[in-house]
Structure 1
Amino acid sequence: MAAEKQPTATAASSVRPSPPVRSRNLPWAPLVVLAALGFTAVTTELLPSGLLPQISRDLQVGESTVGSLTAAYAGVIVVTALPLSKFLAGRVPRKRLLVGVVFLFALSNVLLAASPVLALAVAARLLGGIAHGLLWSTMAPYVAKIVPADAMGRGMAVVFSGNSIAMAAGAPLGTLLGGIMSWRASFLVLAGVAAVLGVLAILLLPAISLSAASARPSIRLAVRQPGVVTVATAWPLLLFAHFALFTYIALFVRAEALPDAATSVSLSVIGVAGLLGIWAAGITADRFPRRSLIVTIAVIAIAFAAMPLFSGTWGGLITLTALWGAGIGAVGIYNQAAILRAGGEQGEAANGLSVVTIQLGIALGAAYGALSLSVAGAQLVPLAAAIPAAVALGMTVVGRRHAYPPGRGEGGPQ
């Protein structure tokens, strides 16, 4: 997915010991390959949203039904991510697993491009969802093993920049290609990119011995930590709201009587603004996490509520999607820190729980968007998305003690 998958350096410390490391040099080639893998995964996840009208016409099904391609993708992650990652831990070397995952992305996109009916398209997306869940369960621990401990933040920033670049460029370019050629061509190109990355992963990713694999997480112990359940619910609610609208952004733009090009522009604005949001969160998350998160969620909710009224012009659409994108980019950083803090010694397990609940939020968000579309029409989907965002805001305000405590600049622990 795009914005909620930005780990912090703190996340890395929970999956790796910190022995003295002399070098601050980063292994740039492997990190760039991993960033490209993240770019491919997020583009694969998001691309159906921009191509929804074309897919609907070609497969001869309703546009709201095509939203099942996003829901199925996220839903299979919910079901398979933790069981598969726990089963494979200590059995399959991380490099081999990452290589297998990227070729599975290629296969998924080829099958999707060749699908004559929706059922086969959904099956292809299920394969992609399995690959996606395994990738994000493996990526951060692997990065934590190949970069120096004293350069962890930089290493994570390089790798996970691929997510936001996919939001800013990958999905819009795929949508543009789909408009020029066909939606099938977009997924074939993406499959080709994944195949090339698979070869590069074989050549450039360093191997890690099985003995270096991290311990299996204990979700049972994590949920007992005060604040974990709150964060693991409020964070996914924001992704629930995000994907309720994001999945049907093309239909909303069309309902606002704007040209089809506005869909690609909106996706680009969301992605670029997301990068700015990540930057802003990076400089405020330590000192002002609570205040910053509350303001950020409030901005998202207001932007959603205002879109039916003010998105009928290019200026209004760009302004509100920029606020939306910046907010979604930032909340991932704030909540990543919050889930690790709330989890304490069980921080890695708590983080694993959030991966599953986030994907559940994405899957249900797409379904909620489809329901809103059929009941109220495309123009009011943003207003429907504002409701769960407001609920997440309330949970954040209430969860002061354990889930979202104040930071150093807010009277919290120094």
Structure 2
Amino acid sequence: MAAQATPAAGSGRVRRDQRSVVTGLSGNFALALAARFAAGLFAGVLWAIIAPHARRMAAPHQQGKALTIALAGTPIALAIGTAVGTLLAGLIGWRATFAVMTLLAGLVIAWVLAAVPDFPGQAKGERTPVGRVFAIPGVVPVLAAVFLYVMAHNVLYTYIASFVAPVGLGGSVSAVLLVFGVALASIWITGVLIDRPLRLLMISSTALFALAVLALGLLASLPVVVFLSAALWGLAFGGAASLLQTAGSNAAGDAVDSVQPVIVTVWKHRHRRRRCRGRTPPRRPRSLVPGLGNPRAPGRCAAVRPAMAAITRRP
């Protein structure tokens, strides 16, 4: 991926920092949009670099735990980032909020450059071409699991407000997402156990997700079920990124620097497809079972099942 992993990560973070500055200072929408596009590009580069670099920092029997710690910021940001950003924007304005983000990013850059050890990347002759990663045993099942799992999660996350409104919880969307966010603390459990029963953890995560969506589909008219399902959903998703990236890294072996960008691309592709399809739900959703729930959730549950089949198939 890069000749020097840590400088590459720091360089990518610097460029994301610069894009935040442009977004905060620009009065031109097209310029701000271009800056956010560039920030997204560098975010993808960072995500692809961080996982292999974190694994290199740890002993082989602790590489999964190292990756989980490195990626812990993602669920934490999901849990509190939007709320904190909205609060700051209301107090000091959105431009000042971007300035705060830039300052924090600068501190992170300095911390990485000062504290994170550097490792040489792969020489040009040692790199695996991206086109060949699909022939590595075990990689395709992991990519299929990423594709299906993230698709199901993103659809549910996108439409959660429209989903709970017909059952009388339209004013409680923030509370539902708060329960989901708090439950993302399951990443701690993932970090403790990930270097041992990886397959069992992935099956458990998928099963919890399927159970949560099935409950939403059949019993969403009961508020307590909605909140319990949100908790199960958060428990399932909290460590999913670490589990899937660890599984991909284990399958990749020496080709980890080529496999991780493919995993990130598949993950981000699901975000893009979800947004391009729009956010308008059916006007009057009807239940598959008269008087119970919402018909969209069982479909999401069905979308998760192939992910379980893919991740549990032994090469």
Q: TM-score range, shorter-chain basis?
A: 0.7 to 0.9
The C-alpha deviation readout for 1:217-272, integer Å capped at 9, x for no partner, is 33332212344223212222211222223245556566755447x42x44443333
Asked whether the equivalents of residues 277 and 329 of structure 1 are also in contact (C-alpha less than 8 Å), the reply is: yes
Is 1:319 the counterpart of 2:225? The answer is no
Structure 2 CA distance for partners of 1:114 and 1:349, relative to 1, 3 Å: same
Other-structure match for 1:228? 139
Q: Which segments of 5 or more consecutive residues in structure 1 lack a partner in the other structure?
A: 1-85, 404-414
Normalising by the residue count of structure 1, what TM-score does the alignment of the two structures yield?
Answer: 0.60
1:374 to 263, 266, 280: 280
Determine the C-alpha separation between the residues in 2 that align with 1:375 and 1:252: 8
1:177 to 71, 76, 88: 88
Other-structure match for 2:305? 393
Is 1:304 the counterpart of 2:213? The answer is yes
Other-structure match for 1:274? 184
Other-structure match for 1:191? 102
Asked whether the equivalents of residues 162 and 281 of structure 2 are also in contact (C-alpha less than 8 Å), the reply is: no
Structure 2 CA distance for partners of 1:205 and 1:146, relative to 1, 3 Å: same
Structure 2 CA distance for partners of 1:340 and 1:118, relative to 1, 3 Å: same
Matched residue SS, 1:374: coil
Q: Percent identity?
A: 24
The C-alpha deviation readout for 1:291-314, integer Å capped at 9, x for no partner, is x54453243234235447766776
Q: Which segments of 5 or more consecutive residues in structure 2 lack a partner in the other structure?
A: 287-293
Written as runs of structure 1 = structure 2, the 5 A alignment for 1:286-305 is: 286-287=196-197, 289=199, 293-305=202-214
Other-structure match for 1:110? 21
Q: CA deviation at 1:279?
A: 0.9
Other-structure match for 2:291? none
Q: CA deviation at 1:129?
A: 1.0
Normalising by the residue count of structure 2, what TM-score does the alignment of the two structures yield?
Answer: 0.76
Letter in 2 for 1:160: L
Q: RMSD value over aligned CA atoms?
A: 3.9
Structure 2 CA distance for partners of 1:200 and 1:163, relative to 1, 3 Å: same
Determine the C-alpha separation between the residues in 1 that align with 2:22 and 2:284: 30
Q: CA deviation at 1:149?
A: 5.9
Determine the C-alpha separation between the residues in 2 that align with 1:387 and 1:226: 30
Asked whether the equivalents of residues 298 and 390 of structure 1 are also in contact (C-alpha less than 8 Å), the reply is: no
Q: In the comparison of the two structures, how many residue pairs are matched?
A: 307
Structure 2 CA distance for partners of 1:205 and 1:128, relative to 1, 3 Å: same
Asked whether the equivalents of residues 242 and 385 of structure 1 are also in contact (C-alpha less than 8 Å), the reply is: no
Determine the C-alpha separation between the residues in 2 that align with 1:299 and 1:329: 11
Structure 2 CA distance for partners of 1:208 and 1:325, relative to 1, 3 Å: same
